[in-house]
Amino acid sequence: MIKAVILTLVLALFLAGPALAAAAPPVQTTCPVLSGKINKDIYVDYKGERIYFCCKGCDAQFQKDPEKYMKKMREQGVKFEKAPAAKK
């Protein structure tokens, strides 16, 4: 009986996995400027969050009006990495 209950719970969690993953906010995978795949070597730290870009130039474009791009990404539910704390 206990084995059947455990098996049922494991099966339920296995089947619910994709639905639970879909509910999590998406991590940034595309450039906010050109929508290309991000390059983790090209980024800007903005208000405590690390924003990645697809190529050089997008970072400069972002810095001209960062809130424009941040608003768009927030509306899409994009989750950002935290920027490392500034050294003192």
- What is the number of domains present in the chain? 1
Q: Which residues contact 28 (CB under 8 A, 6 or more apart)?
A: 38, 51, 52, 73, 78, 79, 80, 81
Q: How far apart are CA 67 and CA 75, in angstroms?
A: 12
Q: How confident is the model at residue 22 (pLDDT cuts 50, 70, 90)?
A: low
Q: What is the domain range of residue 72?
A: 25-88
* Alpha helices, H only, 24-78: 58-64, 66-75
Radius of gyration of the chain (CA): 19
48-62 pLDDT per residue, tens: 999 999 999 999 999
Has residue 7 been placed in a domain?
A: no
> What pLDDT, on a 0 to 100 scale, did the predictor assign at position 21?
54
Has residue 3 been placed in a domain?
A: no
> What pLDDT, on a 0 to 100 scale, did the predictor assign at position 83?
92
Has residue 42 been placed in a domain?
A: yes
Has residue 44 been placed in a domain?
A: yes
Has residue 35 been placed in a domain?
A: yes
